[in-house]
């Protein structure tokens, strides 16, 4: 390893070429980085005016290794860039701008020719050998750094574009035209002689990948996708790198950089069938390949590349051929907030279809069940960590139930995993806040879109970014609305404004704004949305009664759209009519209880005491029963950790609903339904009778 200082004038002199290897990330400097470099150069120019203040600007470190493979017929000395590619590419862009500006301003051609042939091109060379720096290519040449870089270096002045390289060119062009910048030949001369790198040459090609990893562990953070990319180069021989490059070109061509780590994560989870934190992804990949042969490693990468074509469907549903599956993918891709957690399972299912293990009908059935589960959890809430664990292992869990079809097994597994009951889903749809200022319409939209779709309009409306969530009773109450709602307007507004019954969709939100219902009604009647037409045709007023009635009607429609995945189980839960409780078992504690309302009150007390972190979600799911404030409660009762429940409302709950609500609360607290159980008096008497009978039988045997 040889370390020295290398001025810019020497760096590009002679027949030299610096190659950005395939394992490096693309050019990713942006305006913030360009501004820092430009400010440093401005300070350098200002100091160079006076010899006493002049200094040498150290641009940082540059790590290279000499390329051992040479091309026939040229004398270019090639270097592989281990670290410093962003700075070298940026400097080349700046030098190209200086050349083009000098030509446009009529500078001496000797100056521009010298700059071109000593700093930008290797004269008398052909093809890629002409360039002093050679960025990465890509599978599609027009999408690569190299294509835009060549346009900049070869000139004439390139057209504007959106790539970082073309934007960098425009940035430095504007800066060089600002007042106070030295003449271009002076600017160039100071750059050449007063700018230097700490230049490190590494001996031996085989260790450059480990050096790259070591450097980047201490510098700018790379994504897991970047580390995975270079890892395959590190563990394979140079002879197999062309195959690795082809695989990564395919992945990069199909999946944008922002989604690549998610893709690698989803794929690896499908292999091990359990959740992996993204931060540990690289470590788990190393474990997977630790004992593999080189051929196994390359085959592993080929499988990842093949999977990228399938994963692309999750990002671009329009590529899916089956219309039904495409619609589900669109819903997962743009609507449901938790759908990303299901990516490992969805990918596994689509890969199985690709291999012929699952047919289209099964995939449709499975995707319908996933939509059902996600939608109920989307509305009712739940623990995200539990969902991550579920969808990481769901394929294996379903496949293990060999007595069932795969589609039915998926339903049963989902129904057993904190699945909101009909009652909870129904009540949450009516009373829960589906809209918030923080989330805007992201929570309400998928529900509204699917309800609109279910109304069966013959001409489906494309719901794009111009369509927004509409509050029929507006978010900001005018004096006219307050008078319209009456003296109790504050409670009505607080209770109903963000609920499903008051929400719809429109492209005319700004036109309707805070208008009274009588003025909004014609807009709604003439809307292309069936949801809006129904509001206008079925209601002459829009007060609490109408909002609640519409919410209930839409909630019933939602139960038809997303029916219980296991209705038999739900019936068993609710089969308590005519029975009285005797003993409650909850989270490891036991209570003697004689009334169902006390079962619910005691369950709440234990959860609030032992699972306090779950109370905000539970309060959100049951707003009329539980709150962090006693305001508005008829008979408030204090719970541990500053929560309250309304004993009056609790007394109104029917006994057949108590068990379902308690189990839902237990599941929302992150526990299992097995952590809650009630023994009824009838069960107690049966147990006593059975015990007495056994005693009599034993006594008879003794006699």
What is the DSSP track for 311-331?
A: HHHHH-GGG-SSHHHHHHHHH
Distance of alpha carbon 448 from alpha carbon 469, whole angstroms: 9
Helical pair 655-668 and 567-574, crossing angle rounded to 10 deg: 120
Identify the residue with better confidence: 494 or 272.
Answer: 494
pLDDT tens-digit map of 446-488 = 898 889 888 766 555 566 667 888 899 998 899 999 999 999 9
> Using an 8 Å Cβ cutoff, are 618 and 665 in contact?
yes
pLDDT at 216: 58
Mean pLDDT score, 389-401: 86
User: Would you state the pLDDT for residue 441?
Assistant: 62
Q: How far is Cα 115 from Cα 94, in angstroms, rounded to an integer? A: 12
d(CA 234, CA 225): 14
Task: Give the residues across from 627 on adjacent strands.
Answer: 644
Show the tokens assigned to 295.
């051929």
Residues of the chain with pLDDT > 90, as a percent, come to 40
Q: What is the pLDDT of residue 49?
A: 81
* Helix or strand run (H / E) with residue 57: strand 57-66
Instruction: Name the DSSP letter for residue 302.
Output: H
Angle between helices 360-380 and 422-431 (to 10 degrees): 60
Q: What average pLDDT score do residues 85-104 get?
A: 93
Mean pLDDT along residues 3-8: 89
Highest mean pLDDT among 335-349, 478-492, 623-637: 478-492
The residue-averaged pLDDT of 351-371 equals: 95
Report residue 107's pLDDT band, with 50, 70 and 90 as the boundaries: very high
Q: What is the pLDDT of residues 273-326, one digit of tens each?
A: 888 888 888 888 988 888 899 999 999 999 999 999 999 999 999 999 999 999
Tens digits of residue pLDDT in 512-559: 778 898 888 888 888 888 898 999 999 999 999 999 999 999 999 999
User: Residue 693 has what pLDDT?
Assistant: 60
Query: Residue 579 in 3-state DSSP?
Result: coil
DSSP code at position 105:
T
What would the mean pLDDT of 377-403 be, rounded to a whole number? 84
Buried b (16+ CB within 10 A) or exposed e, 270-292: bbebebbeeeebbebbeeebeee
Mean pLDDT computed over 408-425: 88
- Cβ atoms of 654 and 427 closer than 8 Å: no
In this predicted structure, what is the pLDDT of residue 650?
78
In three-state secondary structure terms, 646 is: strand
Query: Could you give the 3-state DSSP secondary structure of residue 677?
Result: strand
Among the listed ranges 128-137, 204-213, 467-476, 496-505, which one has the minimum average pLDDT value?
204-213
Burial class of residue 67, CB neighbours in 10 A (0-12, 13-18, 19+)? middle
The token pair at 337 is: 């907030």
Q: Looking at the predicted structure, is the pLDDT value of residue 139 above 50?
A: no
Average model confidence (pLDDT) across the chain: 84
User: Which of 143, 159, 149, 102 has its CA nearest to residue 121?
Assistant: 149
Q: How confident is the model at residue 52 (pLDDT cuts 50, 70, 90)?
A: confident
Task: Place 48 in a pLDDT band, splitting at 50, 70 and 90.
Answer: confident
Q: Is 683 exposed, middle or buried (0-12, 13-18, 19+ CB in 10 A)?
A: middle
Contacts 24+ apart (CB under 8 A), 512-516: 512/470, 513/474, 514/474, 514/476, 514/477, 514/478, 514/481, 515/474, 516/480, 516/481, 516/484
Which H, E and C letters describe 126-186, residue by residue?
Answer: CHHHHECEECCCCCCHHHCHHHHHHHHHHCCCCCCCCCHHHHHHHHHHHHHCCCCCCCHHH
The contacts of residue 133 (CB under 8 Å, 6+ apart) are 17, 18, 20, 88, 89, 92, 149
Residue 690 or 528, more confident: 528
Range 155-179 average pLDDT: 88
Alpha helices in 340-460 (DSSP H): 343-354, 360-380, 384-399, 406-415, 422-431, 444-454
Q: Which two tokens stand for residue 215?
A: 């450097």
Measured between alpha carbons, how far is 266 from 340 in angstroms, rounded to an integer? Answer: 10
Per-residue pLDDT for 409 more than 60? yes
Using alpha carbons only, what angle is made at residue 18 by residues 13 and 21, rounded to the nearest 5 degrees?
180
Band of the pLDDT at 597, cuts 50, 70, 90?
A: confident
- What is the model's pLDDT at position 633? 74
Quickly state the pLDDT bin for 375 (edges 50, 70, 90): very high
Q: How many other β-carbons are positioned within 10 Å of the β-carbon of residue 427? A: 22
Q: Is pTM beyond 0.85 here?
A: no
Judge whether 579 and 682 are in contact, CB under 8 Å: yes
Q: Is residue 355's pLDDT more than 70? A: yes
277-289 tens-digit pLDDT:
888 888 889 888 8
How high is the pLDDT of residue 546? Answer: 94
545 CB neighbour count, 10 Å cutoff: 10
Q: What is the pLDDT of residue 574?
A: 45
Q: What is the pLDDT of residues 181-197, one digit of tens each?
A: 888 999 999 999 999 99
pLDDT of residue 461: 57
CA 350 to chain centre: 19
Torsion angle of C-alpha atoms 247, 250, 256, 261, degrees rounded to 10: -20
pLDDT of 655-681, one tens digit each? Answer: 766 877 788 788 778 887 778 888 887
The pLDDT score that the predictor gives to residue 141 is 47
8-43 residue pLDDT tens: 989 988 888 998 877 777 888 999 999 999 999 999
pLDDT for the residue numbered 174 = 93
In this prediction, residue 376 has a pLDDT band, given cuts at 50, 70 and 90, of very high
pLDDT in tens, 429-446: 999 888 876 766 678 888
- Tell me what the mean pLDDT of segment 402-417 comes to: 88
Length of the chain: 703
Q: What does the pLDDT read at residue 297? A: 94
Contact 669, 576 (CB under 8 A): no
| Token representation of residue 586 | 């909850």
At 73 the pLDDT is 60
- The domains located in the chain, with CATH, are 2-205 (no CATH), 224-418 (no CATH), 425-561 (no CATH), 575-685 (1.20.1380)
Indicate the pLDDT class of residue 142, thresholds 50, 70 and 90: very low
Give the residue-averaged pLDDT of 212-232.
70
> Is the CB of residue 208 less than 8 Å from the CB of residue 202?
yes
| 669 phi, psi to nearest 5 deg | -80, 5
């Amino acid at each position: 390893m040889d370390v020295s200082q290398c001025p810019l004038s020497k760096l590009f002199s002679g027949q030299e070429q610096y190659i950005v290897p395939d394992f490096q990330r693309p050019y990713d400097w942006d305006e913030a980085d360009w501004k820092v470099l430009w400010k440093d150069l401005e300070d350098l120019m200002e100091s160079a005016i006076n010899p006493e203040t002049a200094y040498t600007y150290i641009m940082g470190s540059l790590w290279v290794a000499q390329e051992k493979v040479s091309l026939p017929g040229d004398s270019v000395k090639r270097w592989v860039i281990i670290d410093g590619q962003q700075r070298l590419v940026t400097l080349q862009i700046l030098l190209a701008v200086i050349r083009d500006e000098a030509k446009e301003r009529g500078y001496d051609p000797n100056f521009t020719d010298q700059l071109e042939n000593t700093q930008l091109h290797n004269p008398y060379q052909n093809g890629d050998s002409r360039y002093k720096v050679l960025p990465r290519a890509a599978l599609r040449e027009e999408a690569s750094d190299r294509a835009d870089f060549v346009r900049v270096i070869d000139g004439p002045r390139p057209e504007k574009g959106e790539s970082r390289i073309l934007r960098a060119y425009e940035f430095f062009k504007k800066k060089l035209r600002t007042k106070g910048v030295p003449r271009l030949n002076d600017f160039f001369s100071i750059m050449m002689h007063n700018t230097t790198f700490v230049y490190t040459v590494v001996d031996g090609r085989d260790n450059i990948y480990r050096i790259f990893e070591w450097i980047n562990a201490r510098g700018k953070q790379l994504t897991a996708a970047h580390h995975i990319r270079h890892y395959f180069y590190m563990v394979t021989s140079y002879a197999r790198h062309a195959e690795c490059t082809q695989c990564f070109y395919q992945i990069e061509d199909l999946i944008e950089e922002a989604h690549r780590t998610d893709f690698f994560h989803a794929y690896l989870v499908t292999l091990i069938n359990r959740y992996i934190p993204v931060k540990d992804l690289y470590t788990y990949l190393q474990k997977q390949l630790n004992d593999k042969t080189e051929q196994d490693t390359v085959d592993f990468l080929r499988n990842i590349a093949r999977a990228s074509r399938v994963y692309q469907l999750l990002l671009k549903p329009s590529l899916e051929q089956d219309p039904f599956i495409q619609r589900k993918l669109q819903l997962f891709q743009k609507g449901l907030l938790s759908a990303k957690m299901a990516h490992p399972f969805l990918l596994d299912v689509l890969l199985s279809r690709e291999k012929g293990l699952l047919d289209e009908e099964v995939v449709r059935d499975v995707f319908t069940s996933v939509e059902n589960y996600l939608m109920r959890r989307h509305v009712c809430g739940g623990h995200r960590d539990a969902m991550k664990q579920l969808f990481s292992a769901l394929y294996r869990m379903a496949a293990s139930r060999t007595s069932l079809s795969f589609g039915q097994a998926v339903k049963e597994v989902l129904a057993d995993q904190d699945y909101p009951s009909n009652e909870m889903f129904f009540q949450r749809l009516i009373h829960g806040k589906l809209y918030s200022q923080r989330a805007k319409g992201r929570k309400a939209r998928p529900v509204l879109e699917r309800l609109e779709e279910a109304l069966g309009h013959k001409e489906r409306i494309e719901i794009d970014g111009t369509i927004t969530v509409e509050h029929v009773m507006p978010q900001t109450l005018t004096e006219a609305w307050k008078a319209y709602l009456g003296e109790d307007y504050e409670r009505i507004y607080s209770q109903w404004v963000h609920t499903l019954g008051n929400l719809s969709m429109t492209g005319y939100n700004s036109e309707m704004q805070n208008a009274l219902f009588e003025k909004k009604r014609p807009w709604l009647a003439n809307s292309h949305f069936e949801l809006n037409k129904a509001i206008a045709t079925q209601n002459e007023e829009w007060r609490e009664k109408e909002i609640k009635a519409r919410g209930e009607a839409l909630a019933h429609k939602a139960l038809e759209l997303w029916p219980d995945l296991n209705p038999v189980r739900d019936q068993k839960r609710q089969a308590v009519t005519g029975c009285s409780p005797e003993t409650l078992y909850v989270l490891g504690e036991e209570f003697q209880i004689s009334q169902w309302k006390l079962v619910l009150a005691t369950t709440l007390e234990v959860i609030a005491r032992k699972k306090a972190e779950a109370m905000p979600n539970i309060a959100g799911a049951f707003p009329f029963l539980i709150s962090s404030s006693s305001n508005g409660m008829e008979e408030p009762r204090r719970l541990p950790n500053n929560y309250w429940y309304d004993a009056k409302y609790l007394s109104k709950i029917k006994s057949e609903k108590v068990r379902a609500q308690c189990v839902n609360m237990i599941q929302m607290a992150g526990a299992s339904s097995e952590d809650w159980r009630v023994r009824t008096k009838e069960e107690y008497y049966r147990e006593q009778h059975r015990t007495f009978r056994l005693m009599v039988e034993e006594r008879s045997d003794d006699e």
